[in-house]
Amino acid sequence: MRKKTQLSYIARMVNVVNYIQQNLDNELTLEELAQQANFSSYHFHRIFSGMLGESVKELIRRLRLERAAVQLRTSTASILDIALAAGYESDMAFSRAFKSRSGVQPSKFRKSEQASFPCLSISSVRYVTNEHISSFDPFTDEELNMNVTIKQVNDTLVAYVSHQGPYKDCGHAWDTLCTALAPEGLLGGDAKMIGVSYDDPDVVAPDLLRYEACISVDEVFSTTDEIAFKAITGGRYAVTTHIGPYEKLNETYQKFLGQWLSQSEHESADRPCFEIYLNDPESTEPEELITDIYLPLKELRNE
Amino acid sequence: MNKVDLFKLHKADYIAPKKPQICYVANAHYLAIDGVGGPAEDNFNDAVAALYAIAYTVKMTRKKHNLGDYVICKLEARYWSINEECLSKQDKSKWHWQLMIRTPSQVEISDIKQAAMALTTKGKTNSVNKVKLIEYEFSHCIQMLHVGSYEEENRTIEQMQAFATAHQLTATGEHCEIYISDPRRIPPERLKTILRMPVQSSSVVKNIASINKLTE
């Protein structure tokens, strides 16, 4: 069962990689790539970089360089043209990038029959001409030490404040939310502190990161315009615990989606993850902060 | 805006040495709630929840009204026995306790009453009405960090008792703890707790030379 799903994750990712190869000169969006293999765009990039060991951007840059190497050997195009085709603005910048990866200047590489093709990555995905990639070895940690439990979660009504910008600056959203809820007697008891991070900071610019600070409530009430209400959709969730500073949450996300999920028998649903904070970051040492990460899963189908 | 952090501001009160050390904790303000029974029993957990609910409600309500912001301090607890028997010899169900959270002196009784009313209206635990504002002076104490489960505190307490005996200090019989770690998730062997053993001040004054000699 487990092996079968991993194979299907690989097969789906192969579609994505081939699509990238066929469209090396186009600007590809993550949504477009996610669609190629029916991945949720919320989680696609983390699954991708977890399995491939590099980001989409890095893969594209590398494949273009590998293609440039082939062109240097087999075509008569000028180095500048090859550089431009590889996405560089000048042959200088191209030379620098090419040399740092392969050890020789493009001009030397072109002349020397002995210079071997640059081995640009440890990933098994390489640039190929006129053919498709049919499979690859996913990039996996040898020991994936991850405690994950599957939970059934109810719909949760929350009051929330949106934040856009670096995740570490979300404090003001929390202040707005907490100062509005405190006088209402809504802090304490079962009230959960929930964070929804919509974007992967590895691919989205810090200023564009979207976040929602949420506190669970029993019912909607009238309050200031800054506070909105919504239900966080319940269902099946995979849950893992991150212990340590919030700055390192992304590492756990990366491992959770990129490694655990693609090796599991589960499929992520097309909704963002959320986090539940179990202690107060003001009075807790960063190393002792506890955060549960909830990854939404598709419902099991009876086959 | 400057955020007051009493725990850091009064570092000397919260020293957590690996060996017993003497310290003096002056009068301070605390939110507090009293009860009887073993820690981890339902009424104890309910009291912890009530205390925190009041603490955060008061803090954020004051912040809303621009009355200053502060960090919620670590949970502290005092344990004693009514017949002054040694706590370890008495059944846990008869332990008296007071849970405390140190609070800036600007916080007023009206803040707490208001918070309790808001919380009760929203159906939170009724125990919020038992939370009070107190001033308390621990005075002279022997203090030490305990790393490990709460059940294993005895080995640390024994070291503190030996320290008291060596310096002819008389313990008051109370046992106090300051909880550094979150017991919900931190594994027991990694739990950090500051243990505090209040001693009679007269015995400290009398034996000050012996104590100083040791700390030199």
Residues B128, B115: contact at Cβ < 8 Å?
Answer: yes
Cβ–Cβ contact B54 with A under 8 A: yes
Chain-centroid distance of CA A219 in Å reads 34
Query: Measured between alpha carbons, how far is A187 from B59 in angstroms, rounded to an integer?
Result: 11
d(CA A245, CA A287): 6
- Residue A73: what pLDDT? 87
Least CB–CB distance from B73: residue in A181, A241, A283: A283
Q: pTM for the full model?
A: 0.86
Looking at beta carbons, which residues of chain A come within 8 Å of B74? 283
Q: How far apart are the C-alpha atoms of A250 and A208, rounded to whole Å? A: 16
Find all residues with CB under 8 Å of B15, minimum gap 6, and list them: B21, B23, B143, B194
Question: Amino acid identity, residue A196?
Answer: V
Place of tokens 């969730």: A237
CA distance B160 to B199: 11
Measured distance CA(A104)–CA(A93) in Å, rounded: 14
Q: CA A276: distance to chain centroid?
A: 19
What is the Cα–Cα distance from A203 to A206, expressed in whole angstroms? Answer: 9
Q: How far apart are CA A215 and CA A232, in angstroms?
A: 11
Contacts of B36 (CB under 8 A, 6+ apart): B93, B94, B95, B96, B97
Phi, psi of A196, rounded to the nearest 5 degrees: -110, 115
Q: Residue-wise pLDDT tens for chain A (303 aa)?
A: 455 666 688 889 999 999 999 898 888 899 999 999 889 989 999 999 888 888 898 889 888 988 898 888 888 899 999 999 888 998 899 999 888 887 888 988 888 777 666 655 556 677 776 667 777 777 776 677 789 999 999 999 999 999 999 999 999 999 999 999 999 999 988 899 999 999 988 889 999 999 999 999 999 998 888 999 999 999 999 999 999 999 999 999 989 998 899 888 899 999 999 999 998 999 898 998 999 999 999 987 654
Contacts of A180 (CB under 8 A, 6+ apart): A159, A223, A224, A226, A227, B64
Nearest to B124 among A181, A188, A282 (CB): A188
Q: What's the N-to-C CA distance of chain A in angstroms?
A: 13
Q: Which two tokens stand for residue B58?
A: 């008061």
CB-based contact A298:A237 (threshold 8 Å): no
Any residues with CB less than 8 A from the CB of A86 and at least 6 apart, and which? A64, A65, A67, A68, A94
More confident of the two residues B66 and B203:
B66
pLDDT at A54: 86
**pLDDT computed for residue A303 by the predictor:** 44
Mention every residue, 6+ apart, whose C-beta is less than 8 A from residue A184.
Answer: A221, A223, B118, B122
In this complex, is the C-beta atom of B179 within 8 Å of any C-beta atom belonging to chain A?
no
Could you report how far apart the first and last alpha carbons of chain B are, in Å? Answer: 40
Task: Give the dihedral sign, CA A260/A262/A267/A271.
Answer: positive
Could you identify the residue written with the tokens 């019989």?
B173
| Whether B56 contacts chain A with CB within 8 A | yes
Give tens-digit pLDDT for B78-117.
Answer: 999 887 677 877 888 889 999 999 999 999 999 999 999 9
Instruction: Name which of A89, A20, A19 is nearest A58 in CA terms.
Output: A20
Which candidate in A184, A217, A280, A283 is best for mutational testing of the B interface (most B CBs within 10 A)? A283
Helix (H, G, I), strand (E, B) or coil at A213: strand
User: Which tops the pLDDT comparison, B116 or B40?
Assistant: B116
Angle separating helix axes B109-121 and B42-64, nearest 10 degrees = 110
Give B57's strand partners: none
pLDDT digit string, tens, across residues A39-48:
998 999 999 9
Residues in chain A within 8 Å Cβ distance of B73: 283
Query: What pLDDT, in 10s, does the model give residues B124-161?
Result: 889 999 999 999 999 999 999 999 999 899 999 999 99
Cβ A187–B182 below 8 Å, yes or no? no
What are φ and ψ of residue A24, in 5° steps?
-60, -25
Map tokens 């610019």 to a residue: A205
Chain mean position to CA A98: 27
| Tokens describing residue B66 | 């621009």
- The shortest C-alpha distance from A178 to chain B (Å) reads 6
Q: SS3 helix, strand, coil % of chain B, rounded to 5?
A: 40, 25, 30
Nearest CA in chain B to A177: B60
pLDDT at B215 (0 to 100): 56
Prediction ipTM score: 0.86
| Lookup result for tokens 């990129």 | A258
**Interface check B64 vs A, CB under 8 A:** yes
A254-288 confidence digits (pLDDT tens):
899 988 998 888 999 999 999 999 989 998 989 98
